Amino acid sequence: MQENQAFYCGTQKMLQAAYRELLLKDYQPTVDTMLERIDEHPKSALELGCGVGLAAINLSKLGVEVTAIDFEPTVHQIALENKAKYAAEVNFLREDFYQFDAASQFDLVYYLDGFGIGEDADQLKLLEKIKEWLTPEGKAYIEVYNPNHWRKADGVTLPLVEDVSHHYRFDEAAHEMIDIWKREGSEVAYTQRLKCYLPEDFEQLVKRAGFEVVAFYPEGRMDYETMQYHPQASLTDCLSYSAVIVPVD
């Protein structure tokens, strides 16, 4: 987990100028899709790993009381800037959500692009905390990386922003996507590892935490031969999928 924390702190500083150019409308489709998939209009929501806060702000503009957490100082500062810019009523907290102690429960807990830090035991611990944070009728919405896709990405190098590129690896034994960011001319590299789960394996994991899966939704896929992104994909070959889960007794 410490390696991932160093990754987030280093890369967010690299990209802070680009992050400040992001607009509220850039995140509206993500929020609209999430609400359509959960088939609810929650009164309250908790976002884990909120980044610059634009998804949370979009949700708050729809009348949802939103608490949004991120431990990384650069994006937390930008989230506060966005809160002022858009006159939003979001409770942005700079905390490690693995240590977060909620004062109340939420109708929705969501985690976009980041689930899978650590071992299975770490995911199970987080899912158990999510169950505590949810109301009995609440739902969680979690984006999960698919090993079938990331296995194909092993060895691929992509240009990113300006002089920063990233290099993909796949650890078959651990089922981990490895993403290495490096600036040209520098020996400093930042590495992120995220555990990938097939839908059936994720379903077994959430059952252990007291959840059941309501639905899986495949996201897009990347064709690394043509370097083209395709927004439509199957559960078999998608880059990631989103799962709607609900607590059970």
pLDDT tens-digit series, residues 144-179: 999 999 999 999 998 666 678 889 999 999 999 999
pLDDT exceeds 90 at position 13: no
Q: What is the pLDDT of residue 18?
A: 86
Q: What is the pLDDT of residue 142?
A: 98
Tokens 């920063």 belong to 164
Least confident of 57-61, 106-110, 111-115: 111-115
pLDDT exceeds 80 at position 248: yes
Question: Rounded to 5, what percent of the chain is helix, strand, coil?
Answer: 35, 35, 35
pTM to 2 decimal places: 0.95
Q: What is the pLDDT of residue 164?
A: 80
Phi-psi map region of 52: left, alpha, beta (phi>0 left; psi -120 to 50 alpha): alpha
> By three-state DSSP, how is residue 159 classified?
strand
pLDDT exceeds 80 at position 114: yes
Per the DSSP assignment, residues forming a β-bridge with 91 are: 67
Residue 177 in contact with residue 193, Cβ under 8 Å?
Answer: yes
List the one residue out of 115, 68, 55, 112 whose CA is nearest residue 94: 68
Tokens 């935490």 belong to 209
Q: What is the pLDDT of residue 95?
A: 94
- 12 pLDDT band, cuts 50/70/90, is confident
- Sequence-ordered list of residues with C-beta below 8 angstroms from that of 139, at least 6 positions apart, any chain: 38, 40, 42, 107, 108, 109, 214, 244, 245, 246
